[in-house]
Amino acid sequence: MKPNARLEDSQVAPSVSYACGLADCTALGYQTSCSNLDARGNISYAFNSYYQQNNQLDEACKFNGLGTITRADPTEPAGLIS
C-alpha cells in the first residue's frame, strides 16, 4: 500500500476484497502467522499476495492507485515469515 494512501479511502475495502478473493490471505486470520499486523500491514499483505500470485506483473499492483511496488523489505527481522 502506498505510504501516502489513506486507510479511509473508499477503494481500500473493495481492493482488499478483490486481492484476497483471488490470492491466499489465510495468513491474516485470527491467531495465524500474520495476525499481529496493523491495518496497513494487512492491506499490504493482501496486495502483495495477489501481486506474487500474478507473477509480479506491474498490472497486478494497481489497486485503484493504492498499490506500489517496492524493492525494499518493509518488515523488521522479527516480522519476517520463514
Look at residue 79 and tell me if it is in a domain: no
Look at residue 82 and tell me if it is in a domain: no
Look at residue 64 and tell me if it is in a domain: yes
Look at residue 4 and tell me if it is in a domain: no
Judged against a pLDDT cut of 50, whether residue 11 lies above it is answered with yes
Q: For position 8, what pLDDT does the model report? A: 95
> What type of residue is 54?
N
Q: How high is the mean pLDDT of the chain?
A: 85
Look at residue 1 and tell me if it is in a domain: no
What span, in angstroms and rounded, lies between the C-alpha atoms of 62 and 35?
25
Judged against a pLDDT cut of 60, whether residue 82 lies above it is answered with no
Q: For position 74, what pLDDT does the model report? A: 58
What span, in angstroms and rounded, lies between the C-alpha atoms of 51 and 56?
5
Domain count, the chain: 1
Domain that holds residue 37: 12-72
What span, in angstroms and rounded, lies between the C-alpha atoms of 12 and 1?
9
Look at residue 2 and tell me if it is in a domain: no
Look at residue 66 and tell me if it is in a domain: yes
Look at residue 53 and tell me if it is in a domain: yes
| Per-residue burial over 8-31, b = 16 or more CB atoms within 10 Å of its CB, e = otherwise | eeeebeebbebbbeebebeebeee
What span, in angstroms and rounded, lies between the C-alpha atoms of 40 and 81?
17
Q: Determine how many CB atoms are found less than 10 A away from the CB of residue 79.
A: 13
Judged against a pLDDT cut of 80, whether residue 41 lies above it is answered with yes
